[in-house]
């Protein structure tokens, strides 16, 4: 059964990055998972191999990731909604702690576990909005500007061509890395309308979180020949 979520939604439930989750992921053979993620076309798809232990794997349309932000935040929320309240998630990178604050879910991880990103600061949010793709010469990159520096509010767009994602709607892994660079709490307004809350922790980890919405639950069958 496939559940489709939007993670890092705004307060009015708009925006958010689409995520596919198979809570019965152990039923999908390892050899088929990359093809399933490619067929679905979400920036990431999660296969939960053990619900009680929250063991999971994460695939973009092109590659498997050891850790990614919105898949972990969304899966933590979904596990709670379906009756299992996790204290930890276990992606391939290692144990990731979880907490909840009302309807928001948060995860905390070592930012070094996240894929690497370059970051380009520009002088206005308008410059971010004007982009029609990643700046020339960059691979995985976040382009950002301050909306309100005192308040820690940032406007950002993130391009992840190395993972098969031309532009990501909301990128938790990039938030992990950016907080580590800036060393302060921030609120990232990304994509068409997504909001990521992120802050550094005293032990060197970074916590990211936000709101999640369940859009659909449906059966799924991989296309013939996959």
Q: How far is CA 119 from the centre of its chain?
A: 17
* pLDDT average, residue stretch 51-73: 97
> First CA to last CA across the chain, in angstroms?
18
Strand partners, 5: 19, 214
* Listed residue (45, 1, 6, 52) closest to 23, CA to CA: 1
pLDDT digits (tens, 9 = 90+) for 16-47: 999 999 999 999 999 999 999 999 999 999 99
CB-based contacts of 180: which residues, under 8 Å, 6+ apart? 111, 200, 206
The CA distance from 43 to 215, in Å, is 16
Strand partners, 60: none
**Encoded tokens for 179:** 């907080």
**Encoded tokens for 196:** 């990521």
Classify strands 96-101 and 104-109 as parallel, antiparallel or unpaired.
antiparallel
* pLDDT score of 165: 87
Percent of the chain with pLDDT strictly greater than 70: 99
Confidence of residue 178 (pLDDT cuts 50, 70, 90): very high
What length does the chain have? Answer: 226
On the question of a common fold for 2-110+211-218 and 113-201, the answer reads: yes
Strand partners, 156: 144, 190
Region of 27 (left: φ > 0; alpha: ψ -120 to 50; beta: rest) is alpha
The CA distance from 36 to 88, in Å, is 26
The CA distance from 72 to 218, in Å, is 21
Residue 200 has pLDDT above 70, yes or no: yes
Q: In this structure, which CATH number among 3.10.310.10, 3.30.230.80, 3.40.190.10, 3.10.129.10 belongs to the domain 2-110+211-218?
A: 3.10.310.10
Residue 226 has pLDDT above 60, yes or no: no
* CATH class of residue range 113-201: alpha beta
The CA distance from 107 to 158, in Å, is 20
Residue 209 has pLDDT above 90, yes or no: yes
Confidence of residue 114 (pLDDT cuts 50, 70, 90): very high
pTM tops 0.85, yes or no: yes
Confidence of residue 225 (pLDDT cuts 50, 70, 90): low
What is the residue extent of each domain of the chain? 2-110+211-218, 113-201
* pLDDT score of 193: 92
């Amino acid at each position: 059964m496939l559940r489709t979520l939007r993670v890092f939604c705004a307060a009015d439930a708009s925006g958010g990055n689409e995520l596919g989750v198979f809570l019965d992921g152990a039923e999908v053979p390892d050899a088929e998972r990359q093809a399933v993620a490619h067929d679905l076309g979400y920036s990431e798809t999660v296969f939960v191999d053990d619900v009680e232990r929250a063991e999971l794997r994460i695939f973009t349309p092109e590659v498997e990731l050891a850790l990614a932000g919105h898949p972990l935040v969304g899966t933590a929320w979904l596990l709670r909604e379906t009756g299992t309240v996790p204290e930890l998630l276990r992606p391939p990178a290692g144990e990731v702690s979880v907490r909840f604050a009302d309807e928001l879910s948060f995860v905390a991880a070592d930012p070094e576990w996240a894929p690497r990103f370059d970051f380009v600061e520009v002088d206005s949010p308008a410059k971010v909005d004007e982009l029609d793709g990643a700046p020339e010469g960059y691979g995985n990159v976040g382009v950002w500007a301050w909306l309100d520096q005192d308040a820690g509010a940032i406007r950002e767009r993130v391009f992840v061509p190395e993972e098969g994602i031309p532009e990501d709607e909301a990128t938790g892994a990039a938030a992990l890395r950016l907080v580590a660079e800036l060393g302060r709490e921030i609120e990232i307004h990304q994509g068409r309308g997504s909001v990521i809350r992120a802050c550094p922790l005293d032990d060197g980890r970074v916590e990211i979180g936000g709101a999640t919405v369940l859009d659909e639950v449906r059966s799924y069958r991989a296309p013939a020949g996959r």
